[in-house]
Amino acid sequence: MKTIDSGFIFLLVSLFSLSISSSVINPKYGRSTSFMPRFPSSSMVAEPEQQLSVSSTKKQLYRTKYFTQILDHFNYNPHSYQTFQQRYLINDTFWGGTENEKIKNAPIFVYTGNEGDIEWFTQNTGFMFETAPHFKALLVFIEHRFYGKSIPFGGDKEIAYSNATTLGYLSSTQALADYATLIIDLKKNLSAIDSPVVLFGGSYGGMLAAWFRLKYPHVAIGALASSAPILNFENITSPYSFNNIITQDFRNESENCYKVIKGSWQHIEDTADKPGGLELLRKSFKICKNYISAGSLAGWLYTAYVYTAMTDYPTPSNFLSPLPAYPVKQMCKAIDDRNVNGNDIFAKLYGAANVYYNSSGTATCFDLDDDSDPHGLGEWSWQACTEMIMATSGNNKESMFPASKYDYNDRATFCKSMFDIEPRPNWITTQFGGHDIKRVLKRFASNIIFFNGLRDPWSGGGVLKNISSSIIAIVAEEGAHHVDLRYSSREDPKWLQDVRKSEVKIIENWISQYYYDLGT
């Protein structure tokens, strides 16, 4: 991947994830620069078992299948008829089938795959597995084209990712058409034509679930769109919202914690500019000896704060990185504890960073030059350069990050350099809507649940109020990024248990109404 400047570090603010756009904290210039993101690895040298790995989880959750998918659903030139193998995962353990004694046409729950390996998302979507027995549902998880093992052009990534000619087939509209085609074919093969389909998705996958329901209402009867920032386009949501929410997460935990982080960027810059300053920073943060700069160190810290805020779950997690319960609180605890770090600002920041990067305590050093992509999210850069123009990098004076203005031209310049293309910032709202969403969707849409946790920085672009009696917004003040889709735990707070119960009840009503209309 090309870089704009050696002082910049590429970060992904997602997903999982939606990871849509990001910014680089560059203390030297006191601003944030929009750019094309990539997924940050653990960025540390540690024992192998500490590295996140798809292969380390239980494969018995699903069986892997492939569907012969058409390359281009919207044109009829010769290239359009090329095909590729699209991976999907299936679990029929609890499925009632089509002719069960108690229920006919048992439902099919479909996860609309995100911008990465479908196994990773499947293994972090326990809600579907836990509710399948109750609904006697078939579970299907479909991988997004150009990610994981669903690679067009013979599965050859070098060809598929080579240039705009091949990457041009990577888009949300093509992906939705993939899902519709696969679902319809699967239902025919299973003799389940009348089985209702309910969609599930989190982050970008949640956006796809909501958009699918709007575009293909004849294929799916409803959608649970968790942490889906469908309003984060074309000036609908402020570019300051994302980082403002992160700032508020930390400030709510501790005013001192907020102030220390806010003042740290200048301190890092000042130290780096002094003779021997970079070596002092290297030693203070245990950075590996291969590479260090003030900008890369600041970006490394920024990544930890952003992802910790996104996954500020009430129970321990292992989604982006192994984290304790309420990791923002743990970060601020490390910063505020004078008995451990005294007045050493770098020691405080190092302690906070360890919450995200080194929960096991086994890291020997942290690699700022690590460009690995453990979950195959790299091609999001193409989508973020074409249609997914989501402004998130603005910082006002109260932000814990350096004050900056969002500048679309930064994104456009990078995309021109990276792919020799011009972004289309208005396409998503043209294709799926977003402006005056309550007025518009109230007229024709139905059966969508929008869940948002207000600790999640992406919630600023989410649907936070009911649109109609069947387009429901569930908002959790203490919730983080698609926390409702995670596996449940005995330690889950009551509010989270209530969220899941509400979602189950709404889906029950959708399915009951479908059966009533079907006459079964």
Active-site residues, by number, are 203, 456, 481
CB distance 446 to 468 below 8 Å? yes
In three-state secondary structure terms, 324 is coil
Distance, CA of 308 to CA of 329 (rounded, Å)? 10
> What DSSP state is assigned to residue 97?
-
SS3 23: strand
Contact 147, 78 (CB under 8 A): no
Torsion sign, CA atoms 219, 224, 227, 232 = positive
CA distances in angstroms from 520 to 442, 505, 511, listed in the order given: 29, 20, 11
Under 8 Å between Cβ of 201 and 83 = no
Residue 286, token pair as written in the block: 């245990």
Determine how many CB atoms are found less than 10 A away from the CB of residue 158: 8
Q: Which helix (H) or strand (E) holds 284?
A: helix 277-285
Do the beta carbons of residue 78 and residue 108 sit within 8 Å? no
CA distance 417 to 115: 22
Residues 6 or more apart from 469 whose CB is under 8 A from it? none
Sheet holding 222-226, edge to edge: 63-70, 83-91, 138-142, 108-112, 197-202, 222-226, 448-453, 471-476
> Under 8 Å CB-to-CB from 19, ≥6 apart: which residues?
12, 13, 37, 39, 115, 203, 204, 377, 380
Helix, strand, or coil here: 199? strand
Q: How far apart are CA 112 and CA 202, in angstroms?
A: 9
- Does residue 13 contact residue 306 with C-beta atoms inside 8 Å? yes
Cα gap 205→16, rounded to integer Å: 8
Rounded distance between C-alpha atoms, residue 303 and residue 12, angstroms? 8
Residue (of 452, 375, 324) closest to 116 by Cα position: 375
| Residue among 184, 223, 181 at smallest CA distance from 202 | 223
Give the residue among 515, 511, 517, 462 at the shortest CA–CA distance from 484.
Answer: 462
CA 145, CA 172: separation in Å to the nearest integer? 9
